């Protein structure tokens, strides 16, 4: 039967999103989506293509009312034709109706091609579309027309692969993909696998063929890249190609960093292989730096991408000039960690999220929480187990504390409206941070690292190349404490966080049995002698509060937050306990006061406590981290606070520590013009060691603060 084509719709029209009921109904029709065969003809301004979709239907589709429709997802400019292919690939065009996001096919046209023994059909859909230029979804085009250079990449999460080609854009169906691309001969094209053949069809136009992916995966992980990208290459284990790509006008900047990127990629692949017991899945690993990126990173299977503006361009002056900074800690914490954190996160997804995927978007915590968990594991090991790395990771988790009380859903939840996932509403700190927080708890406090590792290896083995749900995940954790934490009555379902107060260690949502399993460690300080012991909660003797000071070791335990009373803080301050005890005690106090700042408690006193006790922080990496984070939560410093901080800085004898103070305080803590000028004059040589980027920002801040525009100022020429 010949088609009756509906009016085409533009991408600018309002999308007609599928409802949850439509999604559920369609899911009941489909048994599996076996393969997509995608052909794309990439032109400069638009592209045409066709896709073969091979589907095994459920028997229920034969019993459904013939006046219903089967919906295929597509949000593009035009659908040209829809056909059903017989076993000899002969086409029979069928009726369809198309509005953005909904390509509707009458169910009666499907039913007449099925029988009780054979529920398999192949659709052939021809389409045309524009490239995304603003939204950074679907196929994104970036052009440098003055240089005649063009760059293309794909973004498919969440529900954006339907902006590339017609598909069943549901995360719970895993499929194989075969890609063929027609393109100008001078463009490179890359996808999940290496292409195996190129054919020249007319002058300067070629067709590139990619083999079918050996691994099936959800549509949102599909992707390819094309255009004038420049390529760097290396090897992993002598048999896996590592390729890094960027736009040609960024070569000079990536040249400075590419060897470090290769080192980090090899480290991460080796770490994940060793931890999971699962070897990397492809013969190559690609990293693309992409312009106009929607997010800062995407885990496209075997060919990940990072936002060039965040990792290459926006930090061109920073990342490149960071090599001029003589202070390794400042360089590492200010410039390197965010970049490597996202890189490691996307590589971890190759195992958690790709190799084993999620069944629906309300299971998002599984893939994002584990990617965060392994990213932090890799960072900690890559940077040689610095205490500052550990504390930084824990302070990052503060981001979800306020959000956790504001949102209308919890970490684990029944499915929300589909458009909430499409709009990335659940891609938030709750999903990323709170889930990591819980996985930390399972590993370090309940099961131990070795047993937790074995559980995850078993999970990956059982669900290899499959999708997993929250219910599936919970079957691997059978003890009573975990069941309470992870089921409907547990931590992942209630809002907020477990809170301990210094005078009441029974004031939070865990039973006595659960507390014993968690094995919380408490610092106990005898007030008369300032002698410190660390006891488990169950061994803690009931002593009179005035005789002892109690402080939870929150570095040892991530899930429970401590609210110190002001008397305890004053005692710590008065007795200089921060100078007497080790990193875990000090870090527990730092975390506690930042938590109090976030709650707007005793803010003026907390500033004074913080300034006075900075001198006792012996670990330079921790000093950098607390200076970086405290300013995000604290009350604005007064002129008196600044003067006290100047005194602390003036007492520093170490060049490295002095530069850490100058970098953070010069840009974030000091607002008084006179104090800024004191820094400029007194610490000329140390400021110079922080590089031209810092110098310019610092001088700009002084200029901005000047009251008298005619007053003289020191020019940046001094440091040239």
Q: What is the pLDDT at residue 328?
A: 83
Distance separating alpha carbons of residues 692 and 429, to the nearest angstrom: 34
The DSSP code for 448 is -
Residue 285: pLDDT band with limits 50, 70, 90: very high
Lowest mean pLDDT, pick from 13-27, 197-211, 224-238, 384-398: 13-27
Which residues does 463 contact at the CB level (< 8 Å), separation at least 6? 356, 472
For residues 472, 477, 482, 486, the Cα torsion angle rounded to the nearest 10 degrees is -10
Structure-token match 């045409």, residue found: 48
Q: Which of 144-153, 266-275, 554-563, 706-715 has the lowest mean pLDDT?
A: 706-715
> Residue 644: what pLDDT?
96
Structure tokens at 547: 């005789």
Task: Calculate mean pLDDT across residues 496-515.
Answer: 54
> What helix, strand, coil percent values describe the chain, rounded to 5?
45, 25, 35
Partners of residue 178 on adjacent β-strands: 37
- For residue 9, the model assigns a pLDDT of 34
Residue 1: predicted pLDDT: 26
What local confidence, expressed as pLDDT, does residue 557 receive?
64
Is the pLDDT at 507 greater than 60? The verdict is no
pLDDT of residue 581: 93
pTM of the model: 0.91
C-alpha torsion angle, residues 703, 707, 712, 718 (rounded to 10): -20
Q: Quick one: average pLDDT of 103-127?
A: 95
Q: What is the pLDDT of residue 607?
A: 95
State mean pLDDT over 478-495: 60
CA pair distance 402, 598, nearest whole angstrom: 9
- Over residues 249-270, the pLDDT tens digits come to 999 889 988 999 999 999 999 9
- CB-facing half-sphere around the CA of 590: CA atoms within 13 A: 31
What is the phi/psi pair of residue 314, to 5°? -60, -25
**Inter-residue contact 110 to 57 (CB < 8 Å):** yes
pLDDT bin (cut points 50, 70, 90) of residue 508 is: very low
CA torsion, ordered 242, 458, 441, 432, to nearest 10 deg: 40
- In this prediction, what percent of the chain has a pLDDT beyond 70? 85
The pLDDT value given to residue 598 = 76
| pLDDT tens, residue by residue, 62-90 | 999 989 999 999 999 999 999 999 988 89
Alpha-carbon separation of residue 368 from 379, 414, 536, 667 (angstroms): 16, 18, 32, 33
Helix (H/G/I), strand (E/B), else coil: 557: coil
Interatomic CA distance for residues 151 and 415, integer angstroms: 37
d(C-alpha 509, C-alpha 485), whole Å: 10
- Residue 115: what are its φ and ψ, rounded to 5°? -140, 175
Q: Which of 160-169, 358-367, 521-530 has the lowest mean pLDDT?
A: 521-530
- Residue 542 neighbours by CB distance under 10 Å: 5
- How far apart, in whole angstroms, are the C-alpha atoms of residue 138 and residue 118? 34
Q: Average pLDDT, whole number, for the chain? A: 86
pLDDT tens profile 3-60: 233 333 333 334 567 889 999 999 999 999 999 999 999 999 999 999 999 999 999 9
SS3 of 217, please? strand
Q: What is the pLDDT of residue 472?
A: 93
What pLDDT digit, counting tens, does each position of 224-237 carry? 999 999 999 999 99
């Amino acid at each position: 039967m010949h088609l009756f084509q509906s009016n085409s719709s533009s991408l600018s029209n309002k999308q007609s999103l599928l409802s949850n009921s439509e999604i559920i109904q369609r899911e009941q029709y489909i048994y599996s989506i076996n393969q997509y065969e995608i052909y794309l003809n990439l032109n400069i301004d638009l592209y045409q293509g066709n896709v073969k979709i091979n589907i095994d239907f459920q028997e229920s589709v034969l019993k459904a009312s013939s006046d219903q429709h089967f919906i295929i997802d597509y949000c593009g400019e035009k659908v040209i034709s829809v056909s059903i292919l017989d076993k000899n690939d002969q086409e029979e065009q069928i009726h369809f109706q198309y509005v953005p996001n909904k390509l509707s096919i009458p169910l009666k046209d499907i039913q007449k091609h099925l029988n009780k023994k054979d529920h398999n059909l192949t659709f052939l859909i021809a389409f045309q579309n524009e490239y995304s230029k603003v939204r950074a979804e679907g196929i994104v085009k970036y052009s440098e027309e003055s240089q005649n250079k063009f760059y293309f990449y794909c973004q498919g999460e969440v529900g954006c692969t339907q902006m590339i080609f017609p598909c069943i854009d549901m995360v719970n169906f895993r499929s194989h993909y075969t890609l063929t691309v027609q393109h100008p001969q001078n463009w490179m094209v890359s996808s999940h696998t290496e292409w195996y053949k190129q054919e020249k069809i007319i002058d300067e136009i070629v067709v590139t063929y990619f083999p079918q992916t050996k691994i099936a995966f959800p549509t949102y992980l599909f992707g390819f890249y094309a255009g004038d990208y420049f390529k760097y290459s290396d090897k992993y284990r002598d048999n896996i190609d590592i390729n890094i790509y960027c736009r040609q006008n960024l070569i000079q900047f990536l040249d400075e960093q590419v060897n470090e990127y290769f080192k980090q990629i090899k480290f991460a692949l080796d770490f994940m292989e060793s931890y999971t017991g699962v070897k990397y899945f492809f013969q190559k690993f690609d990293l693309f730096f992409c312009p106009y990126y929607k997010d800062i990173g995407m885990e496209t299977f075997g060919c990940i991408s990072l936002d060039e503006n965040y990792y290459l361009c926006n930090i061109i002056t920073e990342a490149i000039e960071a090599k001029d900074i003589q202070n390794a800690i400042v360089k590492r914490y200010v410039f390197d960690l965010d970049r490597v954190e996202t890189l490691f996160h996307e590589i971890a997804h190759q195992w958690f999220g790709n190799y084993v995927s999620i069944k629906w978007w309300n299971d998002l915590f599984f893939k994002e929480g584990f990617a965060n968990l392994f990213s932090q594991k890799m960072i900690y090991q890559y940077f040689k187990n610095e205490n500052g790395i550990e504390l930084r990771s824990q302070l990052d988790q503060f981001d979800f504390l306020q959000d956790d009380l504001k949102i209308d859903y919890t970490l684990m939840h029944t499915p929300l409206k589909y458009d909430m996932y499409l709009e990335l509403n659940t891609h938030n700190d709750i999903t990323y941070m709170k889930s990591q927080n819980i996985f930390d708890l399972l590993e370090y406090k309940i099961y131990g690292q070795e047993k937790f590792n074995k559980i995850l290896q078993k999970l990956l083995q059982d669900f290899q190349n499959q999708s997993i749900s929250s219910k599936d995940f919970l079957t691997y954790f059978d003890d009573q404490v975990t069941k309470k934490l992870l089921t409907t009555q547990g931590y992942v379902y209630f809002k907020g966080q477990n809170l301990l107060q210094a005078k009441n260690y029974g004031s939070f949502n865990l039973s006595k049995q659960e507390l014993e399993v968690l094995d919380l460690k408490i610092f106990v300080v005898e007030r008369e002698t300032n002698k410190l012991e660390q006891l488990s909660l169950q061994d803690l003797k009931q002593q009179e509060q005035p005789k002892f000071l109690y402080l939870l070791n929150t570095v040892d335990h991530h899930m429970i937050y401590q609210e110190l009373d002001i008397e305890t803080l004053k005692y710590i301050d008065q007795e200089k306990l921060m100078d007497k005890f080790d990193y875990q005690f000090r870090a527990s106090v730092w975390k506690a006061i930042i938590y109090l700042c976030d709650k707007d408690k005793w803010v003026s006193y907390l500033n004074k406590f913080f300034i006075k006790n900075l001198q006792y922080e012996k670990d330079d990496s921790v000093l950098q981290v607390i200076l970086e984070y405290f300013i995000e939560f604290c009350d604005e410093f007064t002129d008196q606070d600044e003067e006290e901080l100047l005194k602390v800085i003036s007492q520093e004898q170490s060049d490295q520590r002095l530069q850490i103070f100058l970098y953070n305080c010069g840009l974030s803590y000091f607002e008084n013009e006179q104090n800024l000028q004191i820094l400029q004059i007194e610490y000329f040589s140390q400021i110079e060691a922080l590089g031209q980027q810092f110098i310019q920002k610092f001088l700009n801040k002084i200029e901005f603060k000047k009251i008298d525009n005619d007053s003289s100022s020191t020019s940046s020429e001094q440091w040239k």
